[in-house]
Structure 1
Amino acid sequence: MSSIKTKDGTEIYYKDWGSGQPIVFHHGWPLSADDWDAQMLFFLDAGYRVIAHDRRGHGRSTQTATGNEMDTYAADVAELAAALDLREAIHVGHSTGGGEVARYVAKHGKGRVAKAALIGAVPPIMLKTQANPGGLPIEVFDGFRKQLAANRADFYWQVPIPFYGFNREGTPVIEAVRANWWRQGMMGGAKPHYDCIKAFSETDFTEDLKAIDVPVLVMHGDDDQIVPFADSAPLSDRLLKNSTLKVYKGFPHGMCTTHADVINADLLEFIRA
């Protein structure tokens, strides 16, 4: 297994395939680099160097009791980018990974990042606050924490249903996709996953988005039941200096899996532009 050891001793697992301009994929909660299989193979075949890591506490990386928050996540990516000497990289983040991309590019990406893409991403902020009245109430995330602590295996078996829109009329459950989501989730640690709920829901990325000056593609399904569209993608699009917003009618949160052909083609067009 390929991994780096960060300054605090955490081992970060990663895949690094191919050559050419690097594309770095940042996964959502509570998944792993494996969630990017359809994108890794597609862009490898298109002539790119493709890299995906397991965030600390997730997948094959160390199940950390500390550092499970966005500043450390972004610092881990910075250490990985330095170790692999990544330059002119494109960073692609889904869901929580979109927050990680925003924080990394804003704080550490100077001179290393060419473009970024945020897919069904959590920025600017998911939580309902006075400044963000359209967000989700804290009770939603408290419910996540309660269910995770009570029976993580069952909780992770239920989440893929709305995640992939399998609860929508005419959309059958793809059992293998559901099982693969569950497999990835159960590989990670309960403590870091628990902590990460706060990281993805309460972190305010407003200033990060304002600071990013590279081109950014913002992609979001308008039937996203995990990160509701109205309080995410259009707000991020307004805060970014150089962004393109693409909205996908009827697509779910997990559209990189359910509609990989569409997402991959649009990502490739953006990267080549």
Structure 2
Amino acid sequence: GYVRFAYSLSIGHGATDLNAAYNLYSPYIKAYSDAGLKVILILTHQTYGEGAGYVWPQMDTGKWHQLTAKFADFARQIAARFVSTGWVTAYQIWNEQDTPMNIASAAVPMQPTDYAYLLSETIKAIRTVDTKVKIITGGHVGGPFAGSNYARATIAALPGNIRPDAIACHSYGRGPVGNKYSPFGSIDDDVDAYSKVMAGAQVWITEWGVLDHPNDPPNDVADYAVGFISRLKTLYSGKVACCVWYGWADSMHNGYGLVNQSDQPKQPFYSRFLGA
């Protein structure tokens, strides 16, 4: 299984203490790795950018290039600390970067060309210290049309010799056809669209789940989740690297947790999910 979380330094306050961040996160990362889980670390605006004087709605290409220089260097230093441990499976660069500007709240979006620059510089920086770790795109939230078009534009804008290892997407509202938690249609559409962006590259579904329904019956959510996973295993076992449920606990923003706010499993969802 996989575990995924943001490697946050700034958290809105502009903190840049890489030692403090390592001391905070490394015991958890080691514990996950020791338990046999594959760790995805998200490097995003909370790694560097928040509290650094940038006003996200007012960003332009020049400001993104300025931020990228520091961001890529932070990524290099973070990767250098973990390269000899083998604890980190993948670095995910940014999060939901294709979110429409007019509805961005938790995400910090940018134009595909600006993202391509940030992605390429970060890949180059990480590769100076770690040649083996996976480096994947931020999770695209725009679905099989707008999202895959954004991903395609990003890849087209990268230097010819630089590529991420995979394209990631966030497949909310998709799953088994006819399920009440699949209003946007089949998960097949996302997998088919994103798998065509880079030939031969697997799709990483780094977020999916049930949002804004905290009191729905756990068995209903379990039916959705088991159907989603079963569909991927049956049809796309070679095309999809992982699907990471959001979130672990009910206290994580608006996601339907595997556990409640008291860290107690929400049965039968918890057991059915782990057994899927």
**TM-score with structure 2 length normalisation?**
0.34
Higher relative contact order (CA 8 A, sep 6+): 1
**TM-score with structure 1 length normalisation?**
0.34
More helix by share: 1
Could you say which structure has the larger radius of gyration?
A: 2
